[in-house]
Structure 1
């Protein structure tokens, strides 16, 4: 009998391409109408960041062995996977695209691009003094793939990236060292996962520790940052920010972040590039082949996420 792999929709089937030998592909979007073979599913790729009916999904797939996400973040799934089921993330898939957006935001704010665009709309020709990234110290909070990809690009602009993670190791500072690192940082980039210990980490005290006119870039998760505290700093003109993720999300109409000064805002679009689907399902295919062959999976999420 074939091994059953469940994908979220027909587009995912196209992105995966021909199934490995011995694999039957079915699709399920998590809805009430369940396809034949769902109970035999061993390998499941859920909808991106869709945890609304996760418990029902696990009940519908009693033979499940692997959950393969197409996103780097796993906070909605980690800790909810049944015993005996391996959870894997998409680490390495979206890092280059996300890092490009980090650089875009930093450069836009340093070179005052939003102000130049506003002048363009007004038909006003006025040179503004700006700055570059050369010799700037950028503290990257999160030393995984997203942080590493960001550091590579920062170095190409002559900047000095400094890594921070939960625990110190060679070349990486611990988060409890942040009070000493923030006053000397020209920018702080958040690329860390959302966990119980990182939720609300960037609060009023954290922001107060940043030097005047420094930049905060968040491409991690919105709940890591205290929105009200950041708004106060932006509105005072003391700090600048680039946000791809916010809290609440999606951002409601009329929310003060829409009109906050000193802010570049994008709608959780850092990884949304033309090749993102193909890259994600290249990983899915590799993982499925490994599972069929009984080989060790990569990107396994375990221990202290």
Structure 2
């Protein structure tokens, strides 16, 4: 590929974190909303998108007529290819958030199966309420997704003495044992007490956890979503959780942000986290390290890491 020599970062702090830039490369600051600073719009060849910003707010990026590569700061890249068009390559931040998202997934599972959310509510009322909760040891846990984050979740759950079933796009054997195909989920759902979702959102995973799958889960099962909101059918989820039959602990929602007055807010079986999966103090140094590697590569005309869509302009 041809060298990339002009890049923008979404804020000065991140530009400083990746500086000095590789020899021959110039950098500017652009939040993809206003005007870029330090470089001209028509010069920009690579853009690092802001973190945790709604993609629909970044349409100004289309004005960068020489744009060749967009780099996200998230593992997911939903709607980014549609935002920039087929000519522009897209790279994700795969790996940067794996540890943080995995630890939140495990935390959500523990909070739900040990009744921690209920204890917090009891504390606010000064109510001493000893109860027997399912716990995590000996529970039957399904992990939907065997990518980088799915593997980190598997690794962290292993010491908890759970009975684990992993689901991938197809049935196979890997170094950790059997991976079930996603087409087996419905048949195996009755044996799963905890179901963790960590798959990308696309046409094949939209509403993957639907009313039929939920109905097949046993009473008291917990759905944990650290993937994307639309992977789970929200209406079906509300119905099952409101009935008291299922529990949920989720970092992502559809719609998102979860609107005020949404029924999930008031359901006692629901634990809500505002999309904090990768947002820990581990994030800044890890994203800076990835971006330094990406800039070093593209400045030498080398394909960067985590390219999820190669555009015609990348060369």
**Which SS does the other structure have where 1:91 is aligned?**
coil
In structure 2, how many angstroms separate the alpha carbons of the residues matched to 1:126 and 1:189? 28
Q: Equivalent residue for 2:124? A: 121
Alignment partners' CA distance in 2, 1:79 and 1:28: 20
Structure-1 separation of matches of 2:87 and 2:299: 16
8 Å contact from structure 1 (residues 67, 85) kept in 2: yes
Superposed, 1:80-159 pairs within 5 Å as 80-159=83-162
Gaps of 5+ in 2: 311-315
Q: Distance in 1 between matches of 2:33 and 2:121?
A: 45
- Once residues 252 and 274 of structure 1 are traced to their aligned partners in structure 2, the CA distance between those partners, rounded to angstroms, is 27
SS of the residue aligned with 1:254? coil
Where do 1:236-251 residues align within 5 Å? 236-251=243-258
Following superposition, the deviation at residue 245 of structure 1 comes to 0.8
- Greater Cα offset, 143-152 or 170-179: 170-179
Paired residue for 1:7? 9
Partner of residue 45, structure 1: 48
2:289 and 2:200 mapped to 1: Cα distance?
A: 23
Report the TM-score, using the length of structure 1 for normalisation: 0.92
Q: 1:278 aligns with which of 260, 278, 285?
A: 285
SS of corresponding position for 2:166: strand
Instruction: Identify the structure with bigger relative contact order (alpha carbons < 8 Å, sequence gap 6+).
Output: 2
Give me the whole-angstrom Cα distance separating, in 2, the residues matched to 1:116 and 1:86.
48
Q: Residue in 2 aligned with 1:26?
A: 28
Structure 2: distance between partners of 1:297 and 1:133: 40
| Partner SS for 2:74 | coil
Contact 2:73 2:92 in 1 (8 A): yes
Task: Give yes or no for contact 2:4–2:46 (8 Å, CA) kept in 1.
Answer: no
Q: 2:226 matched to 1:224? A: no
Cα distance between partner residues in 2 of 1:229 and 1:197: 18
Is it true that 1:210 corresponds to 2:224 in the alignment? no
* Structure 2 CA distance for partners of 1:134 and 1:57, relative to 1, 3 Å: same
Equivalent residues of 2:48, 2:73 under 8 A apart: yes
User: C-alpha distance in 1, partners of 2:119/2:302?
Assistant: 54
Alpha-carbon distance in structure 2 between the residues aligned to 1:186 and 1:2: 49
TM score, norm. by length of structure 2: 0.89
Measure how far apart 1:55 and its partner are: 5.4
The alpha-carbon distance between structure 1 residues 263 and 55, as it changes in their structure 2 partners (threshold 3 A), is: closer
Distance 1:252 1:84, change over 3 A: closer
Residue 264 of structure 2 corresponds to which residue in structure 1? 257
Q: Quick check: 2:33–2:58 contact (8 Å CA) kept in 1?
A: no
Matched, 1:163 2:170: no
Contact 2:249-2:271 at 8 Å conserved across structures: yes
Is the alpha carbon distance of 1:190 and 1:2 closer, same or farther for their aligned partners in structure 2, counting shifts above 3 Å?
Answer: closer
Q: Distance in 2 between matches of 1:137 and 1:296?
A: 42
CA distance, structure 2, for counterparts of residue 255 and residue 104 of structure 1: 24
CA drift of 1:80 comes to 4.8
* CA 1:50–1:111: 2 relative to 1, 3 Å: closer
What is the rounded CA distance, in whole Å, between the counterparts of 2:4 and 2:240 in structure 1? 58
SS at match of 1:87: strand
Q: CA RMSD in A?
A: 2.1
1:190-221 Cα distance to aligned partner (Å, 9 max, x none): 10111122112222111001111111001111
